Chains A and B, each alone.
Chain A
Amino acid sequence: MPYKVSNEKLTLREQAYLPEMIRGLGVTARHFLRNLFTRRDPAPEILDREGPCQITTVQYPEEKVEYPPGYRGLHRLVPREDGSPRCVACYMCATVCPAQCIYIEAGEYPADDPSAPNRVIERYPTKFVIDELRCIVCGFCVEACPKDAIRMDTGLHAVSSEERRAFMLEREALLRGPAVEHPSDPWRKREDSSAPEHGEKEAHRRISPRKNGG
């Protein structure tokens, strides 16, 4: 939006230059002295600050700006209550990822795993690696996940390091944060992967396996 330039004639005082310049230096000196001798409110949110000190600088990394909700921070693999990842290695995140930065290998929990969720959902990621250098932080992986197993709600920046290897986050580094469980999770409906008993007697259940011939 263009604004109108004032072309009013300068007064004699302004034309003299020096008094106006001294006035301007006075403004600067007032700010300088006030910020120098008054204490700064440490609240990092600029709008929340109180007191005469007007410094707007955030003293990073001692102070950090709080990010708004929905900020896409560092990924995390969401754990279940028993500590195992919610992820079932379905590859949806790896498929949708435009930067192809997610690498997954799937494995199978044994049928007699001590943890009930693992008995019900046998598939899990033996390897889950995110290359944070490749990641473009688009959040598609979070959108694609059908199990609410990957989130970007840590509020953290990507890691910083001097070597590339440190940016390849493995499963152990990604599995963090509070556990999440939903009422619809399958392990809340059954104990393991076997067929639950039901009321009706079925014909084939009356046949008992014969162990020694005959």
Chain B
Amino acid sequence: MPDDTKPRQPPEPQPRSVPPRPRVKLTIDDREVEVDAGTNLLEAARAIGVQIPHYCYHPRLSITASCRMCLVEASNSPKPVPACQMPATECLVVQTRSALVKEAQRATLEFLLLNHPVDCAVCDQAGECKLQDYYQEHDAQPSRLAGPKIQKEKRRVLGPLVTLDQERCILCTRCVRFMCEVAGEPQLGVFGRGSHEAIDTFPDKPLDSNYAGNTVDLCPVGALTNSDFRFTARAFFLTATPSVCTGCARGCSVWLDHFNGETYRYRPRENVAVNGPWMCDVGRLSYKPLVHDRALEVKIGRAGEGRTAEGREAARFAIEKLKPLAGSERLAFVASPTASVEDLLATFRLASEGLKLKRVFVSGRAADKGDRLLLREDRNPNRLGLDWVAQAFGLKVEPFERLVEEIDAERVKGVLAVGEDVPTDPKLVASLLLNLDPVIVLATNLGPVAGMGHVLLPSCPCSEDDGTFVNFEGHAQRFVAAYRTRGQSRPHWTWAATLLEELGVEVGWRSARDVFAELAPRVAQLAGFDWASAPGYLTHPRGLRTLPAAADARHGIHRERS
């Protein structure tokens, strides 16, 4: 019986430390390079910045050497050899740019493109397609095929998230190997023979794995496409910003692909400590609340009878209502572990120092089924962060059920809620809140709970502000603002600052960085965390990047790190 609680980490690309492998020296393109014995030539070349084109090779998957794109000339072989499969050996001399290699690459590409439909205008992969890239680089000649091309199925729905175009496929079998080796659910196979070979699922067995979306990222061409992202945006318009998935407590590192102030998809960002290079489909679709049903207007009064207002006026109104209950057990402070550390620091300061509260009730999304690879049962990205911050401010953490009990017993009269997610039925919670006054809600999305607020202060999620999430293992990860805040929505910490100012406490926060700099020293666990140099921050310029992807220096990662 395998240990279900421990996540199965994908295989590491680094060599195992014991016993240390001997180092070997070899020459690649007249440059000497020293690598561990057994490292393949493709990785050895990459170590000195020589890029060898390849389709089927992936550092996290087994090697098949089926695409033949990485052929190089090696001194121990009379014919070109695939660099991905050839181990580095002492005194080997490798040529990656000789005339023979160039001709081999050109010929390989000509064969791969022989039956390719060249429907780039329709294909989602256009702009991040290795066939397009390598054609420009290594082939660049018209097709010499005289007869008709072989036709295969162009729109095969493999599962809930993946659609396959068999004509575009070059049969690198990355997807098949991924499903077998990493996901552990061998749902894909290669069927047929010769030119009629095609990737497919087994009869009556859909590709319904929670990790099926990774096959889309792995596919170097446009064969596997994401049914959710399909046809919504062109890849060359999108800008990638480093972010953190908010789908579960794992907090996978992701690229948030956005254009024109709207998020279009998540793609996994390699982070060996957290998620490797993968992410699950639940997380992949968790970008939707960033786009849909957002709370964008400051509202005074409950849904149906409310009116829009200016932020400052609403804050004053909220403080007037909250002030009589300050310091009393009858005012409940509810915080959601979906908010970032910075948001929690600011709002906890409001609760503990501004309103003199002693307890925090933890809301957040309800637990759901996890799995053995990445997905956690806890669907909140920052529960540990919330515990740390509560500890730092001396607030007692209470479960949400306790709040329900206290409201039932009429011990709680008013609620200040940070985040609208609740672990039970939102309509039930809304009916509980109906009799309370005041209910002040800082919400990112509209819903029954947000609609109950006497004051609704719209907040922005992780796509629109900088911040930090702490995952269940204690890894603090930074996310970066991708685009400007929408409508009247502001980060939670901005509302906390406004409310504190209405209480007469001056705070000089101008950014999430200021909040962290001022309040994070109270959190002992975050002592070693350097906010500004956290992963993903230095590689990207500070502040907002509003240029479209085609014009800016987009980070080199598309489908893989190369």
Contacts and interface: CB of A to CB of B under 8 A. Distances in A.
B231 A90 contact: no
B203 A195 contact: no
Interface stretch (A133-141, A153-161, A202-210): A202-210
A89 B120 CA distance: 11
B9 interface: no
Interface residues of B, number: 29
Contact of B550 (A95, A107, A186): A95
Nearest to A200: B196
Contact of A107 (B150, B198, B231): B231
Interface string B187-204: 000011100101010011
A194 B200 CA distance: 13
Contacts of B21: none
B237 A204 contact: no
10 contacts: A106-B231, A120-B154, A122-B155, A123-B122, A123-B231, A146-B120, A190-B151, A203-B191, A204-B191, A209-B204
Nearest to A89: B231
B155 A193 contact: yes
A186 B203 contact: no
A180 interface: no
Contacts of A150: none
A147 interface: yes
B122 A207 contact: no
Q: For chain A, give the interface size range.
A: 20 to 34
Interface in A9-59: none
Contacts of A204: 191-192, 200
Contacts of A108: 230-231
B142 interface: no
Nearest to A106: B231
Interface string B93-133: 00000000000000000000000010111100010000000
Dominant secondary structure at the A interface: loop
Q: Which residue, of B120, B151, B154, B192, has the highest number of chain A Cβ atoms within 10 A?
A: B154
B121 to A, nearest CB: 4
Contact of B121 (A90, A107, A111, A198): A90
B338 interface: no
A111 B155 contact: yes
Contacts of B150: 198
B400 to A, nearest CB: 40
Interface of A: 88-92, 95, 106-108, 111, 120-123, 146-147, 186, 189-190, 193-196, 198, 200, 202-204, 207-211
Given A108-B230, A189-B148, A209-B204, A88 B122 contact: yes
B135 interface: no
B152 interface: yes
Contact of A194 (B153, B191, B198): B153
B166 interface: yes
B232 interface: yes
Among B121, B166, B203, which residue has the most Cβ atoms of chain A within 10 A? B121
B330 interface: no
Contacts of B236: 95
A121 B165 CA distance: 12
B234 interface: yes
Nearest to A202: B192
A210 B203 contact: yes
Contacts of A207: 203
B153 A90 contact: no
Which 9 A/B pairs are nearest by Cβ-Cβ distance? A90-B121, A209-B203, A193-B154, A204-B191, A106-B231, A195-B153, A193-B155, A202-B192, A123-B122
Contacts of B152: 195
Given A95-B236, A203-B193, A90 B203 contact: no
Contacts of A120: 154
Given A91-B237, A92-B121, A202 B231 contact: no
A122 to B, nearest CB: 6
A90 B191 contact: no
Best-surrounded residue of A146, A147, A204, A210 (most CB of chain B within 10 A): A204
A202 B155 contact: no
Given A194-B153, A210-B203, A90 B193 contact: no
Nearest to B196: A202
A207 B120 CA distance: 33
Contacts of B193: 200, 202-203
Given A194-B153, A209-B204, A186 B119 contact: yes
Contact of B153 (A91, A147, A193): A193
B153 A106 contact: no
Nearest to B126: A90
A91 B234 contact: yes
A142 to B, nearest CB: 15
Nearest to B231: A106
Contact of B204 (A90, A95, A202, A210): A210
A156 to B, nearest CB: 27
Contacts of B166: 195
A128 to B, nearest CB: 14
B488 to A, nearest CB: 26
Contacts of B151: 189-190, 195-196
A66 to B, nearest CB: 34
B231 A146 contact: no
Contacts of B203: 207-210
Given A193-B153, A193-B155, A195-B166, A122 B191 contact: no
Contacts of A209: 203-204
Interface in B218-275: 230-232, 234, 236-237
A185 B234 CA distance: 23
A146 B121 contact: yes
Contacts of A189: 148, 151
Nearest to A121: B122
Interface string B319-351: 000000000000000000000000000000000
Contacts of A208: 203
A122 B117 CA distance: 14
Q: Which of B150, B230, B234, B236 has the most CB of A within 10 A?
A: B234
B232 A106 contact: yes
Contacts of A196: 151
A211 B204 CA distance: 8
A100 to B, nearest CB: 10
A122 B196 contact: no
Contacts of B119: 121, 186
Interface string B272-308: 0000000000000000000000000000000000000
Nearest to A146: B121
Nearest to B234: A91
